[in-house]
Structure formats: structure tokens, C-alpha cells
């Protein structure tokens, strides 16, 4: 690539002209600002002191040396201490000719023989259906996994289902009390929705009990502990851990309802996993680690029988690992699950895609694993992401004020249908093709709107803004891809051979050059995005590429171009843009239609 050639040439020139030993990789190359002439810029100020010359003189001498040694450099110019290189059009046209038929452009092959990166995402509780917050988690986890794979890493996508604990006991108890034997079949509700209904029902009656106790003069915090429903739910959890058959049978039945519901939602979202773990199978391994920590003196037991880790020396506090009744907490099973995955995969990294409200939890997880003697503890990485909020505020599962994932997807499909009908995008399609298009556009809008935001930031989700054929949206990019594929099909129907070589020296227009340079940036964008675990960088790259292409398309004849060689080049450019958009959107988990 031209960047590496320029870096090496600058490093060689620094040594030859000024005796400086600078590694090529340490030469900082920037994209030239739009207000200046050039493609790449080197800032020479770091070299001025040792060269003992003015910034302008150093830049001019380096520019002359590089132009002489790198054939692709057409010219250079100096603006104070900034050295700008102009790359010859022959390099850009050669790049397009070389890559035009590369349908995997921008993606690296998975490196053989490497230990995998394990990415955990989704991690739902079995007391409620998936909602908008889960959607961001699932889409981010899937996309980060695809992004790492696109950069050559072997990846294992995993899910840890939180299928035990006080949360599911609340739904189970409410169903026993108020359900009258209701099932998904008898109610016509998805199983996860049905169980979520009883989680909300528990909270309603629980609050009533708290209110009654407070009215009798009890402190509110004490009332929360003493409320009969909570006491009974905690007793149910204890019976579960003791293996009580009646409780276990009910737990198995209700979780089964939830899993069927989850699977349907995952299918709609287009996400999946290489392996699913269940907390009910991993928490016992965590308990074994707790005992190991006690034996090592790393953990301690309080007088009430609860087990803790003292992290005050690490600037934190004391962390509970086992309750006084012997029941475990989330940290217990996370310790066990981390060990299980490390042993199973020999993981290069263990990435946890979890919201930023759990930052403390993962600091503690790494610290305790290290104290237990596991030298791979530093491979644990918490991909902390911001919350999704709505125009009217935050969502609360226990109060039933969430945006349900299934409902949201259905609403997006209806909106996609309305948009297509308004714009006449589907007039020549069968009913089945139209339905498939609506789903592709709806998911493209939803996924792109969420993934274009930097993962670390909170975001406001507005469905109306997400599905539009104009602006920074998924459908805009999807429509651009469909438009390009139409151009390529027409060229082939006219007998154009895209594998034929372009002949003659071509002079590019500014808008052609902008498209080619944007394409040229893609491998670097994917690499940088993978390094930062940021699908947003790929999303915004795809938008910029689509925007550059549309600007070129509006002003430049393609199939109507009379110069045969130039026409062939432009169609090849179109083809490569379509591959780049398709592959970038694939990283985001978004399909791009061939026609609209």
C-alpha cells in the first residue's frame, strides 16, 4: 500500500539527509486536509531540531527525496511544517483494476492456528423478554465478533443465560400465586412475554406489601426485606439450590417457555452463538473457586457465614461472593464461567459485552481471578457500552415500561413498508419479495442507527429517524448498494466484460478520486475499528463511502460515457464500491439488497 511506501521513504530520507534513526512505522502519516492540495501529509516539526533547519526547509528536502524514490508520488507541496504528497492517478486506477473483482475486499482471512477471542454477549435473564437495551447488547456483540473476524481473529460467540437466581424465582412465585395455570399455548403469548408478565405482577404485589408494612410503622428498607413475597421468593431460591424437585420442575418448565421465545427473537435479529452457557451449570464451579480462595487465605468468611474478598488494598471495598445462607451471587458464577471458557478454548481474550453500569463488577472479576493465581486474568476485557434511552426517558423492566424487542422489530417493518410504498421502491416485486425487503430494510435501519453510535456513549433511540432513504441511515446505504448493483447488471447485459483490462492512462475527476481514496481507506478502517472494538467506525465509513459515491454518480456519466476504457473503469469502480459496502454492512450484521 502507498502509505507504507511513503513511511519507509521518509524514514530512509531522514537517515540519509540528517542521520536520524526513525522506524518507518513511527513516521506519522495523515490524510491531507481538504483545504490543501494532497493525499497524505507528514508533519516535520518532530525532526526540525535535530536537522537544524527551518520546518519549511526540512519539508522541502524530505519532499524532494521522497518524490525521487517513490514513483507513485506525482508532486509535493509545503505549507510551513506540513509536507503534502499528491499521489499519481495511475496508482488509484491501478488499485481499482487490481481489486475490482475482489468480493471479500476489506476483509482479512482468519489466521490459522491462533487461540480464539471469546466474545460474550446477550446474557439475558429468564424472567423477561428481550427489550431495546438487549438489542444494543446483541447487535454490538455480534458486530464486534464479526469485526474481529474481519481483521483475521478466530472468534467464538458465546451467551451466558442467567437462568437461576432471585429474578426467576419472582416470576415463578407470581405465576404460582396468580397464574391459574396459564401457558403460552393457552394465552397465545410468546413464552418469554408470559414469564415477563409475572415478573411485573410480582413487583406490583410486592410494592403493595411494602406499602402496608410502612403504613404499620416499619422503615421502608426493612419493609423491603420483610415483605412476605420477598421472603418467600428467597426461600424458593434456597430450595432450588438444595435441589427441591417441585421447584426444579417448575423452573425447567418456565425457563423452557422463555428459551423458545428468545430463539424466535434472536432469529428475527439475525444473531446467534457458537455456544450457550447456563448459570445453573457454572455457579457450582464458581463455588469451588470460592472454597479454593478460602483455602488460600485470599477470601474470608464472616461470622454470619457469608464469604467475602477484601479489595480495600486495591482501592475498592469488600465484595460478597457467597450469602450467609450459602447461595451464590453473579460474581460467583462469573468466576466459574471465566475458568471454564479459558480451559475450554485457551482463549486469547475473554471479552464481555456488558453495559457500563457493570464497570465495577468486571474490575472486581479481574482482581479476584488474579488473586486466585490465574495468570490469564489480564485477558479479561469488559467492553463497556452506554445505555439506550427513549425520548420519554429510561426503561424499567419490573415496571413493564420497556420497549419490547419483538414489538419494535414489527413496528420497524411496518414503517419500512410505508417508506417503500411512498417511494415506489417495490412496485415490480412479488408479495413474498416485498415482505423480505421490508424485513431487510427494517433490520438495516435498526442495526445501523444503534451501531453508528460509539459504543461507549449513551444513545437516544428514535425509530422515526432511523428509517429514511436519505441521510446517515441504514436504508440510505442499502439503497446505494442496490443502485450500484443495477448499474453493474446493466453493464453486463450490454456485454461489458468486467474482467477485461483497462487501457490507456486515465485522468480522474475530483469526485472519482474521492471515491477511490475512500475505498483505499477501508482495510485501515477495519483494522482500527477492531483495535478499538468500535463498529461505529465501520458504520460511519460505509456512510461516507455511499455519500461519496452518490456525489460521483450524480455528476459523472457511467454507462453513457463514450470513452470505452473510461466507461469500463467506472463500472469497475462501481463494482468495487458495492463489494466494500456489502462487506462493511456485513460486519454490522446488515443485509444489502441486490435490487430495490
Q: Domain map of the chain by residue range?
A: 2-87, 121-389, 405-587
What integer best gives the mean pLDDT of the chain? 92
**Calpha distance 452→460 (Å, rounded):** 12
Q: Which CATH superfamily is domain 121-389 in?
A: HUPs (3.40.50.620)
What does the radius of gyration of the chain's CA atoms come to, in whole angstroms? 29
pLDDT attached to residue 290: 95
Above 60 in pLDDT, residue 398?
no
Question: Kindly report the CA angle at 223 between 222 and 225, in degrees rounded to 5?
Answer: 65
**Calpha distance 481→272 (Å, rounded):** 25
Percent helix / strand / coil, the chain, rounded to 5: 60, 10, 30
The whole-number average pLDDT for the span 116-142 is 94
Which uninterrupted H or E stretch holds 276?
strand 275-278
Above 70 in pLDDT, residue 396?
no
pLDDT attached to residue 584: 98
121-389 and 405-587 agree in CATH topology: no
**Calpha distance 513→199 (Å, rounded):** 58
Write out the three cell numbers for 34: 481538504
Above 80 in pLDDT, residue 402?
no
Which is more confidently placed, 452 or 433?
452
Which uninterrupted H or E stretch holds 571?
helix 564-587
243: left (phi over 0), alpha (psi -120 to 50) or beta: left
Question: 262-297 burial string, b = 16+ CB within 10 Å, else e?
Answer: bebbbebbbbebeeebbbbbbbebbbebbeebeeee
Question: 345-380 burial string, b = 16+ CB within 10 Å, else e?
Answer: bebbbbbbbbbbeeeeebbbbbbbbbbbebebbebb
pLDDT attached to residue 427: 66
The CATH code belonging to domain 405-587 is 1.10.730.10
Q: In a 10 Å sphere around its CB, with 0-12 CB exposed, 13-18 middle and 19+ buried, how is residue 214 labelled?
A: middle
Q: Which residue's entry shows cell 446467534?
A: 272
Residue 323 dihedral angles phi and psi, to the nearest 5°: -70, 170
pLDDT attached to residue 485: 96
CA distances (Å), origin 130, targets 264, 389, 407: 11, 15, 10
**Calpha distance 581→486 (Å, rounded):** 14
* Neighbouring-strand partners of residue 31: 40
- 2-87 sits in which CATH class? alpha beta
Q: Are strands 40-43 and 82-87 parallel, antiparallel or unpaired?
A: antiparallel
Above 90 in pLDDT, residue 350?
yes
**Calpha distance 459→356 (Å, rounded):** 13
What percent of the chain clears pLDDT 90, i.e. is strictly above it?
81
Above 90 in pLDDT, residue 26?
yes
**Calpha distance 334→555 (Å, rounded):** 57
pLDDT band at 397 (very low <50, low <70, confident <90, very high): very low
Q: Taken in order 75, 79, 84, 88, is the CA torsion positive or negative?
A: negative
Which is more confidently placed, 425 or 558?
558
pLDDT attached to residue 504: 67
Residues 6+ apart with CB under 8 A from 126: 161, 162, 163, 167, 168, 192, 195, 254, 255, 258, 259
Above 70 in pLDDT, residue 15?
yes
Query: Contact, 13 vs 83, CB < 8 A?
Result: no
pLDDT attached to residue 399: 46
Above 60 in pLDDT, residue 286?
yes
Which uninterrupted H or E stretch holds 385?
strand 380-385
Amino acid at each position: 500500500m502507498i502509505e507504507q511506501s511513503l513511511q519507509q521513504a521518509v524514514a530512509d530520507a531522514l537517515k540519509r539527509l540528517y542521520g536520524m534513526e526513525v522506524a518507518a512505522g513511527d513516521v506519522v502519516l495523515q490524510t491531507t486536509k481538504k483545504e490543501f492540495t494532497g493525499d497524505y501529509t507528514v508533519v516535520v516539526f518532530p525532526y526540525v531540531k535535530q536537522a537544524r533547519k527551518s520546518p519549511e526547509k526540512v519539508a522541502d528536502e524530505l519532499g524532494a527525496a521522497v518524490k525521487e524514490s517513490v514513483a507513485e508520488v506525482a508532486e509535493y507541496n509545503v505549507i510551513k511544517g506540513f509536507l503534502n504528497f499528491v499521489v499519481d492517478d495511475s496508482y488509484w486506477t491501478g488499485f481499482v483494476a487490481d481489486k475490482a473483482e475482489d468480493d471479500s475486499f476489506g476483509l482479512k482471512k482468519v489466521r490459522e492456528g491462533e487461540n480464539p477471542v471469546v466474545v460474550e454477549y446477550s446474557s439475558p435473564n429468564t424472567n423477561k423478554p428481550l427489550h431495546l437495551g438487549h438489542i444494543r447488547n446483541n447487535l454490538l456483540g455480534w458486530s464486534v465478533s464479526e469485526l474481529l473476524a474481519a481483521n483475521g481473529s478466530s472468534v467464538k460467540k458465546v451467551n451466558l443465560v442467567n437462568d437461576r437466581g432471585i429474578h426467576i424465582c419472582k416470576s415463578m412465585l407470581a405465576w404460582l400465586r396468580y397464574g391459574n395455570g396459564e401457558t403460552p399455548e393457552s394465552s397465545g403469548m410468546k413464552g418469554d412475554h408470559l414469564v415477563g408478565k409475572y415478573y411485573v405482577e410480582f413487583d406490583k404485589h410486592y410494592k403493595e406489601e411494602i406499602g402496608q408494612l410502612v403504613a404499620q410503622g416499619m422503615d421502608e428498607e426493612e419493609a423491603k426485606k420483610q415483605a412476605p413475597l420477598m421472603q418467600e421468593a428467597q426461600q424458593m431460591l434456597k430450595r432450588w439450590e438444595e435441589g427441591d424437585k417441585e421447584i426444579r420442575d417448575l423452573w425447567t418448565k418456565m425457563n423452557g417457555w422463555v428459551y423458545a421465545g428468545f430463539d424466535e427473537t434472536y432469529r428475527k435479529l439475525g444473531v446467534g452463538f457458537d455456544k450457550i452457557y447456563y448459570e445453573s451449570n457454572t455457579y457450582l464451579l464458581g463455588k469451588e473457586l470460592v472454597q479454593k480462595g478460602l483455602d488460600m487465605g485470599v477470601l474470608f468468611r464472616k461470622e454470619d457465614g457469608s464469604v467475602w474478598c477484601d479489595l480495600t488494598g486495591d482501592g475498592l471495598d469488600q465484595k460478597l461472593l457467597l450469602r450467609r445462607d450459602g447461595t451464590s451471587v453473579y460474581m460467583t458464577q462469573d468466576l466459574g464461567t471465566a475458568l471454564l471458557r479459558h480451559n475450554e478454548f485457551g482463549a486469547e481474550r475473554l471479552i464481555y459485552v456488558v453495559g457500563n453500569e457493570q464497570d465495577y463488577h468486571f474490575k472486581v472479576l479481574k482482581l479476584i481471578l488474579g488473586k486466585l493465581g490465574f495468570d490469564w486474568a489480564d485477558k479479561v476485557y469488559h467492553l463497556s457500552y452506554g445505555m439506550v434511552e427513549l425520548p420519554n426517558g429510561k426503561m424499567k423492566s419490573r415496571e413493564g415500561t420497556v420497549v419490547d424487542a419483538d414489538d419494535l422489530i414489527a413496528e420497524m417493518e411496518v414503517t419500512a413498508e410505508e417508506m417503500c410504498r411512498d417511494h415506489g421502491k417495490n412496485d415490480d416485486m412479488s408479495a413474498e419479495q416485498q415482505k423480505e425487503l421490508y424485513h431487510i430494510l427494517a433490520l438495516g435501519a435498526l442495526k445501523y442507527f444503534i451501531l453508528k453510535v460509539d459504543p461507549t456513549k449513551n444513545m437516544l433511540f428514535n425509530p422515526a429517524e432511523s428509517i429514511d432513504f436519505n441521510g446517515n441511515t441504514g436504508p440510505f446505504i442499502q439503497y446505494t448498494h442496490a443502485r450500484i448493483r443495477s448499474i453493474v447488471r446493466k453493464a453486463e447485459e450490454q456485454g461489458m466484460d468486467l474482467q477485461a483490462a483497462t487501457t490507456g492512462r486515465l485522468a480522474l475527476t475530483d469526485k472519482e478520486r474521492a471515491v477511490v481514496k475512500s475505498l483505499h481507506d477501508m482495510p485501515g478502517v477495519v483494522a482500527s475499528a477492531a483495535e478499538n472494538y468500535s463498529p461505529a467506525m465501520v458504520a460511519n465509513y460505509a456512510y461516507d463511502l455511499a455519500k461519496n459515491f452518490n456525489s460521483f454518480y450524480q455528476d459523472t456519466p457511467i454507462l453513457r460515457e463514450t470513452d470505452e476504457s473510461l466507461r469500463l473503469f467506472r463500472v469497475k469502480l462501481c463494482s468495487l464500491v458495492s463489494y466494500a459496502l456489502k462487506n462493511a454492512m456485513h460486519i454490522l450484521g446488515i443485509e444489502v439488497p441486490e435490487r430495490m
